[in-house]
Amino acid sequence: MDGNASGEDSVNVDWTTDDEVEIIEEAATSSPPTLTTDASKVTAVNGEASSSAGNSRYTKLAKQIVGMGFPEKLVLKAIEENGEDTELILNALLTYSNLQDSPQRKLSFGSDLSSSDNSYTILDDVSDMDSWSEYEVVDGIDSISRKRNMSSVNTGSLPEQQKKLLLLTDMGYMVEEASIAMERCGPEASIAVLTDFICAAQVAREEGCHMHDDDLKKNQFSNGNSKNKKRKFYEMCKSKNAIQEDTIRLPSLMIGFGVPSDQPEYIHRSLPEEARGLPYFYYENVALTPKGVWDTISRFLYEVEPEFVDSKYFSAAARKRGYVHNLPIQNRFPLIPLPPLTIHQAFPLTKKWWPSWDKRDKLNCIQTVIGSAKLTERIKRALERYDGDPPESVRKFVLEQCRKWNLVWVGKNKVAPLEPDEVEVLLGFPKNHTRGGGISRTDRYKSLGNSFQVDTVAYHLSVLKDIFSNGINVLSLFSGIGGAEVALHRLGIKLKNVVSVEISKVNRDILRSWWEQTDQTGNLIDFDDIQRLDEEQLVKIMNSVGRFDLIIGGSPCNNLAGGNRYSRDGLEGKESALFYEYFRVLKLVKDKMGM
């Protein structure tokens, strides 16, 4: 992660986080439409554009955007102001349109925008803001659809096809992807159909290693004309459009086998014979994964059905996770005192400044980085330009960023990211838990972003209190900052022996510091690398501490989380393949305990 993630100039997400945002990768560019422009600026000759400065990329981009139906003069102006960033150019064009229609700020498009008093637009304040989106499971459980914040632009009187294109780009899709989807699916296709097509193309590309050999001939993409390569690629994607749903589907309400506020009277589940008995095991990872991941996890963990839970039922922040375990599910109970369940309960001082048009009462998934001071200052400047409530287009831009970065209101027109101790509250850790390792503020955010939500996990583990009234031996794999240990401690379960396996020294130091500060009387034994925890070491440990009662952990989600732009390779990814190490160690312990 960028060490300056919380600094003035950084608004980039660390995509190794347990983030739940899905951002579609850039697709291959389609052939741009024909453009005829002002000869003093851009000239098209035989379909190949050239500019007075000889910048062919600049001209090609202008051709493509003008071909979408935007006025040529505004396209050139937007490119001049925003460079070659297609998303910023489209946002600029939309902003010009919004301001032209707005009674509060009229733009004269016949004049030079840069020389007018009206040239200062909301885009100047939020030009470095990314679009935001989140996954949400729809009713009917047949698929996962995107609930997008599509409202950062007002498409008003634009033609229908332009509206669709702009909505898709505002949802985070590349303009090339959107254009291809619209061409393939036809003019009558709905936004849902178009997003499904783009997703299918993306999944097909990501899962290329699982496609038939016919589809993956080496020369299919490495040889020949680039247009042919693109055509073949997208034909292949189209043929994969009917990708099968996962056999394990996420429920519309992610409450697993019940949460404190919604506990069914009786739920019965039958565990496979091989999964019954000690040791208890508990495995966690992000709920929204590439196709087939949870099938694989379930298959390796003795065909146990996953329990999908969103931590918004336990805290003021969402955290969609899947858990595979063989714990009893009856007679669970929550941690007391109950945690705050809304933003204002968690941070009451924010209520004074919270605008009526910000309807949030929950925060989104905690990330490993925060929005920059530069971003919050731009939001403040944008809002200060209006005496009362800002216009709808401004509100939408601001809310987009507040949702994306979990910004809260701390003053008039002023938002700020959460402090590390505030994130600790949301995740159920004691205040200053992550200061114990003597680490930087940036490292604290990273450690917290990859941790358990303690209240959620404690609810599942609460059934162990009566079973292990004299204490428990725990093998904690991928321990992180000790979410499982904190949960057991807060439940009043004595930690006799904890063998912690965690690669990060920062996280090991945090857990060790907590262990000492809470005066634990048991033994904490730590290892740094699960891949070096072999049978011989496990036998020595078990001969020393006895059997393990609980094996708990969540392997890295780097290649599973929707926010990973570049290497969402599922369980075959470099980091997320460590799931198989969890299974290996679990099987070794079960075998030794069964002897």
Question: For residue 321, what are the β-bridge partners?
Answer: 286, 309
The backbone region for 54, taken as left when phi is positive above 0, alpha when psi lies in -120 to 50, beta otherwise, is: left
Name the DSSP letter for residue 273.
G
Q: How confident is the model at residue 438 (pLDDT cuts 50, 70, 90)?
A: confident
Lowest-pLDDT range, 318-327, 392-401, 495-504? 392-401
Alpha carbon distance, N-terminus to C-terminus of the chain: 45
Q: Which residue has the tokens 């312990």?
A: 589
Cα separation, 324 vs 330, whole angstroms? 16
- Residues whose CB falls within 8 Å of the CB of residue 15, separated by 6 or more in sequence, listed in order: 561, 563, 564, 565, 566
Interstrand relation of 320-325 and 280-286 (parallel, antiparallel or unpaired): antiparallel
How many alpha carbons lie under 13 Å from residue 167 in its C-beta half-sphere? 22
Given this model, what pLDDT does residue 178 score?
78
Average pLDDT, integer, range 90-99: 64
- Encoding tokens for residue 289? 């994964």
Q: How confident is the model at residue 190 (pLDDT cuts 50, 70, 90)?
A: confident
Query: Which of 440, 453, 415 is CA-nearest to residue 1?
Result: 440
- Residue 311: exposure state from Cβ atoms within 10 A (0-12, 13-18, ≥19): buried
Given this model, what pLDDT does residue 290 score?
87
Residue 429 and residue 456 in contact, taking contact as beta carbons nearer than 8 Å: no
Query: Which of 89, 70, 72 is CA-nearest to residue 81?
Result: 89
* Phi and psi torsions of 269, nearest 5°: -135, 145
Residue 471 and residue 522 in contact, taking contact as beta carbons nearer than 8 Å: yes
Average pLDDT, integer, range 219-230: 43
- Write the CA distances from 346 to 315, 351, 426, 573, integer angstroms: 9, 10, 8, 37
Cα separation, 164 vs 191, whole angstroms? 7
**pTM for this model (two decimals):** 0.64
pLDDT digits (tens, 9 = 90+) for 2-12: 333 333 333 33
- Residues whose CB falls within 8 Å of the CB of residue 582, separated by 6 or more in sequence, listed in order: 283, 477, 478, 530, 553, 555
Average pLDDT, integer, range 93-105: 52
Question: Which of 30-39, 83-92, 444-453 is the most confident on average?
Answer: 444-453
Cα separation, 301 vs 423, whole angstroms? 32
- Encoding tokens for residue 339? 């945690």
- Encoding tokens for residue 11? 């608004």
Name the DSSP letter for residue 124.
H
Cα separation, 574 vs 560, whole angstroms? 11
Question: Which of 135-149, 196-210, 493-507 is the most confident on average?
Answer: 493-507
Q: What whole-number percentage of the chain has pLDDT above 70? A: 67
Given this model, what pLDDT does residue 215 score?
36
Does residue 185 carry a catalytic annotation? Answer: no
- Encoding tokens for residue 128? 């470095």
Average pLDDT, integer, range 556-574: 73
Q: What whole-number percentage of the chain has pLDDT above 90? A: 48
Catalytically annotated residue among 185, 365, 402, 557: 557
In the chain, the amino acid numbered 236 is: M
How many alpha carbons lie under 13 Å from residue 464 in its C-beta half-sphere? 34
SS3 annotation, 210-258: HCCHHHHCCHHHHCCCHHHHHHHHHHHHHHCCCCCCCCCCCCCCCECCC
Query: Which of 466, 458, 428 is CA-nearest to residue 309?
Result: 458
Given this model, what pLDDT does residue 93 score?
74
Cα separation, 236 vs 223, whole angstroms? 16
Average pLDDT, integer, range 4-24: 36
Q: Quote the mean pLDDT of the chain.
A: 75
pLDDT score of 514 more than 90: yes
- Write the CA distances from 588 to 284, 537, 591, integer angstroms: 19, 11, 5
CB atoms within 10 A of CB 358: 18
CA 490 to chain CA centroid, nearest Å = 29
CB atoms within 10 A of CB 145: 15
Query: Which of 346, 342, 344, 366 is CA-nearest to residue 354?
Result: 344
Q: How confident is the model at residue 97 (pLDDT cuts 50, 70, 90)?
A: low
Give the helix/strand (H/E) hosting 100.
helix 86-101
Q: How confident is the model at residue 55 (pLDDT cuts 50, 70, 90)?
A: low
- Residues whose CB falls within 8 Å of the CB of residue 350, separated by 6 or more in sequence, listed in order: 343, 344, 408, 409, 410
pLDDT score of 522 more than 70: yes
Cα separation, 13 vs 364, whole angstroms? 14
- The sign one gets for the Cα dihedral 586, 588, 591, 595 is negative
Average pLDDT, integer, range 357-384: 92
In the chain, the amino acid numbered 397 is: F
pLDDT score of 318 more than 90: yes
Cα separation, 564 vs 574, whole angstroms? 13
Lowest-pLDDT range, 170-184, 381-395, 537-551? 170-184
- Write the CA distances from 69 to 65, 77, 559, integer angstroms: 7, 15, 38
DSSP 284-323: EEESS-STTHHHHHHHHTTTPPPEEEEGGGTSSB--EEEE
